[in-house]
Chain A
Amino acid sequence: AQSVTQLGSHVSVSEGALVLLRCNYSSSVPPYLFWYVQYPNQGLQLLLKYTTGATLVKGINGFEAEFKKSETSFHLTKPSAHMSDAAEYFCAVRRSSGNTGKLIFGQGTTLQVKP
């Protein structure tokens, strides 16, 4: 079985500060990992994904995440927060094998950026 835990349902940072959103997963098989972002009244937009290869993954809008197998983590970071980064962020996992593409999501983390 697979599961995802996002630590902190709400994170608040100042504009220009480091953003760190935590994600830990559980998976019995090698996982594919994703971060999605949802802006108000919009759908989920893919930020970045890890499948195989380099464990440090760069995504859109200056975000990146590092897959750490030993820690079963996939934390999302951005060096300097911008007001436009305020949104809800979701970490998700899916199996790397098999014929189902279903995503298992974490509970979501709402990022607030203060001026």
Chain B
Amino acid sequence: EAGVTQFPSHSVIEKGQTVTLRCDPISGHDNLYWYRRVMGKEIKFLLHFVKESKQDESGMPNNRFLAERTGGTYSTLKVQPAELEDSGVYFCASSRQGDQPQHFGDGTRLSIL
């Protein structure tokens, strides 16, 4: 089966611009997670979807970040406007059920100039 895929693999934008990251989970996986790793820090949870509903969004840093999962398939994470501290690697993960191990994508490396 195809793994979790993320687009783009790299994105370089200027401060104040908008960027949208996409994640395609493994087919049939209802649970979708977003994580972020800022350079030099640990990987941190952002939010968790169950199908199209936000189950837990306690890790979203502020209202410049908007995550959607319309239709319960792929998900997007939009940053608007981007700030320097948003730079990092954004990982997406999915699992069939909430208590099963999560499968991770390769991540999107986001650089804000």
Which chain B positions have C-beta within 8 A of A115?
Answer: none
Which chain B positions have C-beta within 8 A of A104?
Answer: 45
A52-84 to B contact mask, C-beta < 8 Å, 1/0 = 000000000000000000000000000000000
B104 contacts A102, C-beta separation under 8 Å: no
Q: A99-B55, A100-B56 are in contact. Are A105 and B101 (CB under 8 A)?
A: no
B48 contacts A100, C-beta separation under 8 Å: yes
Q: How far is the CA of A41 from the CA of B106 in the complex (A)?
A: 7
A residues 16-73 with Cβ under 8 Å of B?
Answer: 32, 34, 36, 41-46, 49
Q: A100-B56, A102-B59, A105-B43 are in contact. Are A44 and B104 (CB under 8 A)?
A: yes
Contact with B106, one of A42, A46, A90, A108 (Cβ below 8 angstroms): A42
Q: How far is the CA of A61 from the CA of B40 in the complex (A)?
A: 27
Residue positions of B touching A, CB distance < 8 A: 3-4, 31, 33, 35, 41-45, 48, 55-56, 58-59, 91, 93, 95, 98-99, 101-107
| 10 further interface pairs, Cβ-Cβ under 8 Å (given A102-B45, A103-B35) | A43-B4, A44-B91, A49-B101, A99-B98, A100-B48, A101-B31, A101-B48, A101-B98, A102-B48, A105-B44
